[in-house]
Amino acid sequence: MSSPRPLRYTGATVLLVLAVLLAPLATVATWVSSQISDSSRYVQTVAPLATEPSVQNAVTDRLTNRVVGQVDVQAITNSLAATLQKAGAPPLVVEHTPELAGPLKDALTKTVHKVVSKVVTSDQFSQLWDVANRQAHAAVVKVLTGEGNSAVQARGNAVVLDIGTVVDNVKQHLVDAGFKKASAIPQPDRTITLLKTDKLQQAQTLMRLLDVLGVWLSVVALVCAALGIWVAPAHRVALLATAIGTGVMMAVLLIALAVLRGVYLDSVPPSALPENAAAAVFDTLVRFLRQSAWTLLVVSVIVALTAALYGPSRAARSVRSGASRGTGSV
């Protein structure tokens, strides 16, 4: 004997509401799980950052400033002035020699920048970037747990990327080019701040939970949706409601990503990473999540339209009739 209609409505409603509410969490959980468990997928995700101009410029500017900062240009010009004075150079020449510090520093900066930029924009940089990220893939797990000291790690309230392998390669090229001071680039400048927020611990807790749930959350959401549609007295209406609800939740997820993007950009100080580079990092890291949300949104719209067009409404009958006549005329 079939269940009473009110009971079926109640059961279907509970299942479908649960499925719709789980949809965005399942999407995020699947994204987190795939990025952690699949090394190739992770490398594929971050690989574009190596060729992103804003990121390349950020790395180049940071290393250039640090190399030039190791050179005391003013001391050099002062020493030159003292040497000229001892050599009997005209007083006017000696007096104005320290003024060469500015042009000399500019020339040095341009030369070092050119060498660093050549390395950072080379194919070798991209290869080093991929190798470093592949080797550091396990560190992503440590970020979620707040443990470890690998390439990607949590430090206090910040998540940083250690680019030591890249920096060592750039330093060697600079040393080979005659810039001995390049070997003195300090340790703190081997990292790039990806995220800085007072809510890092809470975020780690949530990410750990999503990682554990992984694809199982998607399975639960699909099972709830299928059972809800099957239990519902009106299958088409249930399918329509599920599609609309899922589409709305995907739109909410996309809006949430847009809001989080602004929060993320505010969390990274310009001194740690320029805004355009920070934007590139965020957009690159979440692009597969964003694509998944858009795909589900489009699928939901298509399913909802299909379910609506198969309904008994006058508009649906008119569309079906028009389509039938159009097909028949062809």
pLDDT digits (tens, 9 = 90+) for 156-175: 556 666 666 666 776 777 67
- The gap from C-alpha 99 to its chain's centroid, in whole angstroms, comes to 45
172-179 contact pairs (CB < 8 A, 24+): 173/115, 173/116, 173/118, 173/119, 174/67, 174/112, 174/115, 174/116, 177/115, 179/67, 179/112, 179/115
CA nearest neighbour of 160 among 200, 209, 212, 128: 200
Considering Cα of 190, then 50, then 52, then 255, what sign does the dihedral take? negative
Given pLDDT bands bounded at 50, 70 and 90, which one contains residue 149?
very low
Structure tokens that stand for 28 in this block? 């995020």
Considering Cα of 148, then 152, then 153, then 155, what sign does the dihedral take? positive
**In the predicted model, is pLDDT for residue 318 greater than 80?**
no
Q: How many residues does the chain have?
A: 330
Q: Please give the single-letter amino acid code of residue 120.
A: V
pLDDT for the residue numbered 62: 77
pLDDT for the residue numbered 302: 94
Domain map (residue ranges) of the chain: 5-39+201-309
pLDDT for the residue numbered 148: 46
If you ran DSSP here, which 8-state letter would residue 149 be given?
Answer: -
Q: Is 217 exposed, middle or buried (0-12, 13-18, 19+ CB in 10 A)?
A: buried
Tens of pLDDT, residues 233-275? 888 889 999 999 999 999 999 999 999 899 888 877 777 778 8
- The phi and psi torsions of 312 (rounded to 5 degrees) equal -90, 0
Helices 314-329, 287-309: axis angle to 10 degrees equals 90
The single residue listed with the structure tokens 């924009």 is 121
326 or 305, which is more confident: 305
Query: What number of other Cβ atoms are within 10 A of residue 5's Cβ?
Result: 9
If you ran DSSP here, which 8-state letter would residue 198 be given?
Answer: T
For 189-216, what is the mean pLDDT? 65
228 or 149, which is more confident: 228
CA nearest neighbour of 245 among 220, 257, 228: 228
- Rounded to the nearest 5 percent, the helix, strand and coil shares of the chain are 80, 5, 15
**In the predicted model, is pLDDT for residue 178 greater than 50?**
yes
The strands making up 191-196's β-sheet, listed across from edge to edge, are: 152-155, 158-162, 191-196
143 or 168, which is more confident: 168
Tens of pLDDT, residues 39-89? 677 777 777 877 888 888 887 887 777 777 766 667 777 777 777 677 776
Query: What number of other Cβ atoms are within 10 A of residue 131's Cβ?
Result: 13
pTM exceeding the 0.75 threshold for the entire prediction? no
Question: Which range has the top average pLDDT, 5-19, 268-282, 287-301?
Answer: 287-301
pLDDT for the residue numbered 1: 43
pLDDT for the residue numbered 150: 47
pLDDT for the residue numbered 101: 73
Distance CA 134, CA 126 (A): 12
Query: 280, 55 in Cβ contact below 8 A?
Result: yes
